[in-house]
Structure 1
Amino acid sequence: MSENNAANENAQTMADALKEVETVHIGDTVKGEVLAVEDKQLIVGIEGTGVEGVVPLKELSTQPIDDIRSVANVGDEIDLVVISTIGKDKENGQYLLSKKRLEAQKVWVEIKAKADAGETITAPVTSVVKGGLVVNAGVRGFVPASMVADHFVEDLSQYKGQELEFKIVEVEPNDNRLILSHRAIVEANKKEARAEIFAKIQPGDVVDGKVARLTNFGAFVDLGGVDGLVHVSEIAFDHVDKPSDVLKVGQDVKVKVLAVDPERDRISLSIKATLPQPWDNIDTEAPAGAVLTGTVRRLTSFGAFVEVLPGVEGLVHISQISHEHIATPNDVLKEGQSVDVKVLSVDPDQHRLALSIKALQERPEGVEEDRPSQNRNNNRGGDRPRRNNRREEHTAIPAEYQQDDSGFSMGDLLGDALKGFGTDDKD
């Protein structure tokens, strides 16, 4: 064979070989053999091309990788996608490849299919950003702050690291856009739990709950998927200014069901109804003759109601406020004022406590003590005492107080004003 023929044959063989080598384009899916494993990248040979490519560590997986050698070794074959070229030498140049983006393409397809089927996904929250949460669903997903929970959450950092269930709100693979909602899951779960709870809960039931939220007017308690309201007046027997003064979010509490309204999705609860009743030990806590310090809670035309124990109010009749004459209790007392009182009488069954302020005060000089009319037999010379032309002054009780919820009777409210009435002397 002549030299020319041999040269022509070699040239033909080279041309045939070049025809068999596939051309690599950006976006192509290729198979690569791991030729070398470095700290931050893999060197791979692209099958059927005779060229090499580089896979950076960050392009190896959609999940964080601490050690590159834990996911790839020399000789491994992996599917990759071409994302760009490196250098200007197209024949001997290298390509930038990604395994993560190939996985992401598959993830987008799966997520789109789940969205179309109305299915949910579960993914961990990786970070908190302005306006919401970032989650790793195989691809980057975003949860707007308004879609995190069924109520306003001031601090979203509590969700970082949590794995949550999400409803797929919007999915756009071409724009790498995935919008998720955890609120939709919470609302769906609560709706199911609400139906179950409303079917079995009854007024009078005592159940366990957890403080979910605090407001100025009360505390919302989670009963296992449904929140009930404990109004601030139902937290304790003593006065509570703000629920946050005595309760904390997450605190376990025992509550009594006061009312259930399924149509309005409302459950009224009470914490104080589960506590010992304040009048149970009143005989020992506030016996007759005891001196106590209390707070003026209400002022009326006929006296002052003073709270001497949490949930226990007693009446200081106007005649028991001062040794001197006063027109109204407002002349000397104010609501919220702290006063010392003496217990005159106690009736646990009727929840009545008669109190006196003046009993602890020294009677001013020249002020006579109130006494009932004297009997004629005690008068010198047997003279009949002169009847006063006007009746003894007494305090009128407004109609709205004649059956006061304190349990005091008309006689209790009139107090000393009844002394001497109907005791006319006889000859």
Structure 2
Amino acid sequence: MLLSIALLPLLASHFWHHHFGKVATFWALAFFVPFIATHASGIVASEMTHAILLDYVPFVILLTALFTIAGGILVTGNLHGSPRLNTALLAIGTLLASVIGTTGASMVLIRPLLRANDGRRHNVHVVVFFIFLVSNIGGSLTPLGDPPLFLGYLRGVDFFWTTAHMLPEMVFAALVLLVLFWFLDSYLYKGDTDFRGVSDPTPDTPKMGISGRINFALLAVVIGAVLMSGSWKPEISVPVFGLHWEVQNIVRDLILIAAAIASLILTPDSLRKENGFEWGPMLEVGKLFAAIFITIIPVIAMLKAAENGAFAPLVALVTSPDGAPINAMYFWMTGILSSFLDNAPTYLVFFNLAGGDPVELMGPLARTLVAISCGAVFMGANSYIGNAPNFMVKAIAESAGVKMPSFFGYMAWSVGILVPVFILVTLVFFRS
């Protein structure tokens, strides 16, 4: 599945563009058919229910709600993408990501950023750094920011624990990347001198403004629904194939659906059209991640088996001979797996591997929990599939005419820029 996402857009782009849903279905069936043929029906039903009903459906509902609502917010006016403006927008988006989530912040800011830079010859790097910062690292400070931290919140980690304990790591990584971006953007901006003003598809307007303000209220509804599902514990659930579908999660998803529908009703179609809103990016994410959530079932099972499973050698790397956790390895192992698997269940596996007791992990093992959290959130930026907003931003940028790098091309950026930054994070924060 991952190789198809990586290679087919390069080797057969026309085929992939028209048939990626069929390819995803093929790989999902390639796992599901042997699975159902070789395992008891109860196991199959339980695993598929967990993957689809309890994991994928809430995931895609939250993304769709944020995508729909943020797509109804239009920043009018033509900003000009200078290094100072671009760096400021990235910094604002990085901070906003912990408030309305990496998906919400990405969807609100990506279109204004693209318009600001559509008159430049060199603009790919702007989107790449946007994915690094706004779509990933910026979501480090609250459970609203990124799904792994939300899972930790549901399991007893205090809401503001991440704010207090991950702030140094997040600020360090973000500042290093913003400085690197400013130098790179300044260099490329000078090279665009003969191009700027010649080709700018967005006409200048007298002033800046924001339309679709009702959607800010709907974003607040989404935030409230997410908080409610983590704090309200009625201990009522609907049994589904041996699993428990908790009522607070059902209520949350219904509120999110209602908020998305309200946004579609209350936001004029002309505003969405002017904003370049289209369903293509969401449909692409929905189809591909449905297959990813299914094909990831055996991988997560191997991770959960810990030292008794196929990943036992990897699991052994995070613990010293005396049983003490090796925080640097927790950071890198959680991060590397989060780069290519769903970072939420990966976070949960290492959370449980470190003991799974939130009181212990917030106390004596606080540095271990920080390492796990940073690995899951930061390294989701290492590939397009590390975090759902990455794919959405890529799709929106391509629809706006930006020639985004391929799967491996993007990884060349992340290996060249992010990996050295993460090595610095390790040396500064996780050496002991």
* TM-score, normalisation: structure 2: 0.17
Query: Relative contact order (alpha carbons < 8 A, sep ≥ 6): 1 or 2 greater?
Result: 2
The answer to which structure has the higher strand fraction is 1
* TM-score, normalisation: structure 1: 0.17
Q: Which has the larger radius of gyration?
A: 1
The answer to which structure has the higher helix fraction is 2
